[in-house]
Amino acid sequence: MFSLPGLLILALLLAGLGVTLWRQGGLAFSPGALSARKKPGVLFNGYSAHADFEKECRYCHQPLTHIQGDLCMSCHQDISEQLVLMSGLHGVLENVQMCFKCHSDHRGSEFDPRKDAYDNFDHAVTRFSLVWHQVNYSATPLDCAGCHLDNEDFKASAQNCIDCHGKHNTTFMVQHLADFGENCFDCHDGTDRMASFDHSSTSFPLEGSHQTVRCVECHIDGNFQNLALECGACHLEPAIHQGSFGSDCATCHNSEAWKPANLNGKIFDHANQSGFSLTRHKLDYAGQTLECQACHPGGIDQFTGQTCIECHAEHDQVFMTEHISQFGEYCLDCHDGFDRMSNFNHADFFPLEGRHAELGCESCHAGKTFQGVPKDCVGCHREPEIHAGIFGLQCQDCHTADRWRPAKLRSHTFPLDHGNQSEVACQVCHPKSYVEYTCYGCHDHQPQPIEESHRKEGVSLDELANCVACHQNGG
């Protein structure tokens, strides 16, 4: 235990230490010198830099009694004003009173607390993103001074944008200014979108292909007022149906694409909806565009085969007379617009060889169907069960159109004339499937003697069924 004199000495030391700390304002605990950086001609509460009150710790630190951010605002009243008015840079920041998260100090007299905030600053809070402003035109990093020529206040001016982009492409910038004016931030927010502008809020929402049209294609000479909304104001009526369908384009077309059109609420495809393609009816015999009225003189929803006969007869009367005599007047029974029966050669589509040459047309073209008729064997011939799923569907690899049997075997190591007789029928050795075989279709099956004789030769029961493994040529 301490003696009475010792306690007195200890008390005096603690008292002296307390007085010293009180007089120095806690300076003994300072982690380092404060910044001496200053802005010429600007004073904060009578001080030009933090270093001016370096020994007055209580100006920034009053734990348990004051929030540090409030102490900062007592000097930086311009920032406090931004918070009240919700203006300036600090007026849009979250947790702005936690100043130390962006600005530190006690890192030497040359340290700049303001630049310390750059690395942690989210530029998106300024309502202008840096997504497209990471590098400048020379592909080097774009620093703050590239846009904020006044490094003290970091004020951004549209003139900075104009100067920078104008140096890169003067012609474009001159035209852009002429089209849209000099207030860059009215349209741009850094992500290449027009800031806060939604075209759907106007009387003409941009949908479909209209979304890819440049603004100046509709807003000529910077005109954004009183634009005509009718299709005909921008799109000339196509000559192919001029005067046939009226001026309400939306009845058949939409902004997704001009083609295909819509008719009666359905996507219009002449081939699908009428059964007749216009593939070979785009031009008339004179080489002119074949308009709708040429085939539908009584209206777009009316048509008779007589129209075909009259048109083609005018071009070649002799041919048309013979054609009608041979095939009749029902043109659409045979013609679908895709075909070109003149000089028709069936071999160009499917050679009629062997047994196929003997068939009547209706055997394959039932109901006078000429389009989409299958060309693969399996389209008409069901795959035999004996090799279903084994050899694939390329029947022509083994069979011909002359006859189904015999097939052409590409490889068969076991002699087909086994026993010096004529070729053995496939089913004798392959009664169930061509990938399985048995020798007992000819040879008697006596299990015990066979197993006994083969066991003596070292053949196990598992190997016994695979006769060809030892009797490769049937001997």
Provide DSSP, 274-303.
Answer: HS---TT-SB-TTS-B--HHHH-TT-TT--
207/137 same-domain check? yes
Q: Is residue 303 part of a domain?
A: no
Q: What's the total number of domains in the chain?
A: 4
- Clarify whether residues 103 and 138 are in a common domain: no
Amino acid at 73: M
Is the pTM value of this prediction over 0.75?
A: no
Same domain as 137, residue 96: no
Indicate whether 81 and 111 sit together in one domain: yes
For residue 102, tell me if it sits in a domain: yes
Percent of the chain with pLDDT over 70: 89
- Condensed to tens digits (0 to 9), the pLDDT of residues 282-311 reads 889 998 888 888 888 877 778 888 999 999
In this structure, are 110 and 163 located in the same domain? no
Q: Which domain holds residue 72?
A: 12-121
Check whether 65 has a pLDDT greater than 60: yes
pLDDT in tens, 85-119: 887 778 777 777 888 888 888 888 888 887 777 77
Residue 64 within any structural domain of the chain: yes
Residue 241, in any domain of the structure? no
Same domain flag for 29 and 99: yes
Q: Is the pLDDT of residue 140 over 80?
A: yes
Last residue of a domain, one of 187, 206, 225: 225
Residues with Cβ < 8 Å from 214, sequence gap 6 or more?
A: none
Q: Is 68 found in the same domain as 135?
A: no
- pLDDT recorded at residue 11: 62
Q: Could you report the per-residue pLDDT of 14-41, keeping only the tens digit for each?
A: 555 555 555 555 566 778 888 888 877 7
pLDDT at 124: 74
Domain end among 225, 250, 271: 225
Do residues 461 and 369 both lie within one domain?
Answer: no
425-450 pLDDT, tens digit per residue, is 788 888 887 778 888 888 888 888 88
CB under 8 A, 24+ apart: contacts of 373-378: 375/349, 375/350
In this prediction, residue 211 carries a pLDDT of 86
Each residue's pLDDT tens digit, 141-157: 888 878 887 655 677 78
Look up residue 17 and give its DSSP letter. Answer: H
Q: Decide if 218 contacts 234 (C-beta within 8 A).
A: yes
Question: Is-contact 255 235, C-beta < 8 A?
Answer: no
Query: DSSP secondary-structure letter at 398?
Result: T
Are residues 217 and 116 part of one domain?
no
Last residue of a domain, one of 90, 121, 152: 121
Q: Is residue 337 part of a domain?
A: no
> Is residue 334 in a domain?
no
Residue 31 lies in a domain: yes
431 contacts 438 by C-beta, under 8 angstroms: yes
Q: Are 90 and 16 in contact (CB under 8 A)?
A: no
pLDDT in tens, 368-409: 677 788 888 888 888 888 778 777 788 887 888 888 877 777
**Token representation of residue 165:** 């982009």
Same domain, 145 and 46: no
Cα 359 vs. chain centroid, distance in angstroms?
Answer: 50
Residues 140 and 221 reside in one and the same domain: yes
108, 153: one domain: no
User: Is there a domain that residue 322 lies in?
Assistant: no
**CB-based contact 431:441 (threshold 8 Å):** yes
Residue with tokens 């169907």: 369
